[in-house]
Chain A
Amino acid sequence: MLSARDDAARVRRSLEGDPRAFEELVEAYQKVLFNLALRMVRNREDAHDLTQSVFIKAYRSLHRYDDRHKFFSWIYRIMIHESINLLHRRRPHEPLDERIVQPGACPAERWERDEMNGRVREAVTRLSEDHRDVIVLRHFLQLSHREMSELLRVPEKTVKSRLHTARQRLGEILARTGVVR
């Protein structure tokens, strides 16, 4: 990821009409955002479309970006919001992308795993925003506590405490839905 200063400079240049500046932001964040989308919506085509749509929305709202924050923390919120919207719009039995489904398993195992993954993702969207953020950043994007602290602008101690509570809440939700005991 780029530094907050790099982000701010690129956003400024972009607002001044330099298309290359936004392209650099797209190049820097497309992989992480695409993977985030993929983990949220679990369908490669949707993830592709969603990532494009999020970048375009971000570009159109660039004048609203507060350069005291990291660009990623801003665009990340757009992505989470859009992916949750998409999940709510989607029918309950959307086919999953073959590439996300782990190979080698028999159809019954694959179905069971898909079903479980869907429920886990659904449970994550039911967490409060603070708790959802830490789960997504830590587990889906594999950020360190320190990176999360910088991104969320809260002390590492707070990140850790939120993570503990979020996992407990997630465990409770999954237990209620029968995914874990």
Chain B
Amino acid sequence: MRNSELELAIQDVLDGVATRAQSDWLRHRIATDPEARALYDERETLFQMLDPGPMIEPPDDLAPGVMRAIGSTRARHLDHATGIDWVRGALTRRPIWGWVYGFGAGAAIGALVVSALSGPRPQPGREALPVSGTMAPPTAIEPAVARAQLAAGTARATVELRRTAGALWATVATTADGPAELTLEFDPAALSAIAFDWGQHAGDQIEIGPGQVRVGSHGAADARLRLAEGAGRAPRVRVVLRSGGASSSAVAALGPLPRESP
């Protein structure tokens, strides 16, 4: 029977905290008792399996990415404004844009193009356009499983969805003469945002919450968002672009995560 004294001595020795007396006692014990030797070998294997090796340096872009997000979140907290309020606030602060958007709003375009690997080409202006639920298996360069181009006021946005193992990637790019807001809405049970990073052009703010990611920008902005997919779910992502009092939207209805080949 394995006694606790033996267990204690083995772990202390392997942990490097044993006293000299403990080490001597254990050495004698494992030399004379095959069961003690077997337990020692078992624990030694466990320690080896738990050894993670040396720590490595984190990627260079980790801290800057956090700070960009923090800066945006901070601005968001200070404003205490919703997305629409934020756009309205920007218009108030810059009356010239109100004048521009006055014209722009009348001619606001809700253009929608959602394409997938297969399936009919969607008609512009439709509120919800399903995309083919059949996804190609992941390849080295992932093709977009859905793509939407939106226009609202002076703003233009392209949203692409890609799938890799266990994750859905959304890349968004917006341009606007003034403030614009792009929102991705989804079922929080099917998708959860786990990370994002600005691309070459950082926007003004990003707000990530359950079932929603909101990107605020002024001018050009691009970002990459990573969403984890819930098992067995067929996620839908609704994309809404708002700018200058106009808005347009698209919906990508994706199929369940494809099964892996054996």
B-binding residues in A (CB < 8 A):
17, 19, 22-23, 26-27, 30-32, 34-35, 38-39, 44, 48-53, 55-56, 59-60, 86, 89-91, 93-95, 99, 102, 116-117, 120, 135, 138-140, 142, 145, 160, 163-164, 167-168, 170-171, 174, 179-181
B50 adjacent to A94 (CB under 8 Å) = no
Q: Verify if B177 is at the interface (C-beta below 8 Å from A).
A: no
In the assembled complex, the CB of A82 is this many whole angstroms from the nearest CB of chain B, namely 8
Cβ contacts under 8 Å, A60 to chain B: 73
* Residues of B close to A32: CB separation below 8 A: 55
- Report whether A48 and B59 are in contact in the complex, using a CB–CB cutoff of 8 Å: yes
Chain A residues with CB under 8 Å of B73's CB are 56, 59-60
B contacts with A, residue count (CB < 8 A): 46
- Pair A35/B55 contact, Cβ less than 8 Å: yes
Least distance between A110 CB and chain B CB atoms (Å): 15
Stretch from B97-105, B149-157, B228-236 forming part of the interface with A: B228-236
| Distance in Å: Cβ of A15 to nearest Cβ of chain B | 11
Which residue of A55, A99, A120 is within 8 Å of B50 (Cβ)? A120
How far is it, in angstroms, between the C-alpha of A99 and the C-alpha of B58 when the chains are bound? 13
Interchain CB contact under 8 A, B56 and A35: yes
Q: Which residues on the A side are within 8 Å of B226 (C-beta)?
A: 49
* Beyond A117-B49, A140-B50, 20 extra complex contacts between A and B, CB < 8 Å: A22-B67, A23-B70, A34-B56, A34-B59, A35-B58, A49-B194, A50-B194, A52-B69, A53-B194, A55-B66, A56-B66, A56-B70, A56-B73, A90-B166, A94-B166, A116-B49, A138-B15, A164-B7, A164-B8, A164-B11
User: Which B residues lie at the A interface, using CB under 8 A?
Assistant: 7-8, 11, 15, 17, 42-43, 45-47, 49-53, 55-59, 62-63, 65-67, 69-71, 73-74, 78, 165-166, 192, 194-197, 208, 226, 228-231, 257, 260
Q: Which residues of B are found within 8 Å of A142, using beta-carbon distances?
A: 52, 55
Instruction: Write the nearest CB–CB distance from B168 to chain A, whole angstroms.
Output: 12
- Smallest Cβ distance from A165 to chain B, in angstroms? 10
16 A-B pairs with CB atoms under 8 Å apart are A17-B74, A26-B66, A26-B67, A31-B55, A34-B59, A48-B62, A48-B195, A50-B195, A52-B195, A52-B196, A55-B70, A56-B73, A56-B208, A120-B50, A140-B52, A179-B49
**Is B42 touching A181 in the complex (CB atoms < 8 A)?**
yes
Asked if B62 and A52 sit within 8 Å, CB to CB, the answer is yes
How far is the CB of A119 from the nearest CB of chain B, in Å?
Answer: 9
CA of A23 to CA of B52, assembled, Å: 27
- Beta-carbon contact of A135 and B74 below 8 Å: no
